[in-house]
A and B are shown apart, each in its own frame.
Chain A
């Protein structure tokens, strides 16, 4: 049986979100963490790492992308630029 796949998320520096950087195979989460350090942060790229089993990720499907995100497409009024306010009104 082969090692499971883990997705790797790195926090580049304090104050930033963890960002997905790639994946790797490892026998368990602890080893995945160490391997992720060696593979993805050899040059101080991070201050914190998360690993999560790829199989545990539920993702939206690319085929359904249009239908899935459609509901927000026609709601232009959610954007501040929808409202015209004269240029001489300051700070708004």
Chain B
């Protein structure tokens, strides 16, 4: 067993030093980098609420969650670097707009209930996407996904618990929750990407076993899992076509606005410019820290050398 095709056929993992087709390598670099960028940009919508969360307990939880997302970004950049790319270069590609990140993070967090809805729906959709990626054919990516999936459960549960608490509160709080659900439901469905008929790369990614399920399969799975959770929570999902289909054994649901997805991906969402600008500024404002740390390390290396 050695050739790439044999490894894939035997459902084994490809490791960084193995020979692999150039297309596979490029796809992996792009997918892992964009996944990493999404984790990093994904800190912003929720990060806004850290100082505004209503109690010390909620601040600590949200801080821990956002910190986890930073960690996810770092695991993933490290996985990409096993393919010979450089994190600084990937960051450059992100802030110059040459590489993308998940469309979901280009929507604003208008109220505190958004924090709960993001944990429930956005992290919930991310879990649906990421669980099968734990068996993705590229070893370092699959291993990063295993670590990440272990941490996502906290993210989703803190969100749902936050929403349950608000739903037990006042009418105004219940309205905030419903309003946040109304705004995040459709963008969450779009997280799985365009419909299969319009997803030209899916077939190749499935053949290479990078992906294990199509976009539409994952979207259906997410809907089926989420509807009963919404019922228990007491919120309405904003889709008049949503209903159980006993023949299919699945929920039927309406078509997301694919033109909106296209617009948001191509840079024209409500917060694209703001997210990128914030990331660019954080990178530039942090330059002196990176330089100072290097200068400090060099100075100590010299002192150690001199002491020998």
Contacts and interface: CB of A to CB of B under 8 A. Distances in A.
A92 to B, nearest CB: 6
A91 interface: yes
B15 A92 contact: no
Interface residues of B, number: 28
Contact of A91 (B15, B64, B225, B233): B225
A80 B123 CA distance: 13
Contacts of A82: 154, 158
A92 B142 CA distance: 22
Given A48-B15, A48-B17, A85 B142 contact: no
Secondary structure call for the B interface: helix
Interface in A4-58: 11, 14-15, 17, 48
B12 A14 contact: yes
B160 A89 contact: yes
Contacts of A15: 12-13, 139, 142-143
Interface residues of A, number: 20
Contact of A86 (B57, B64, B232): B232
A13 to B, nearest CB: 8
B27 to A, nearest CB: 19
A80 B160 contact: no
Interface of A: 11, 14-15, 17, 48, 75, 77-80, 82-86, 88-92
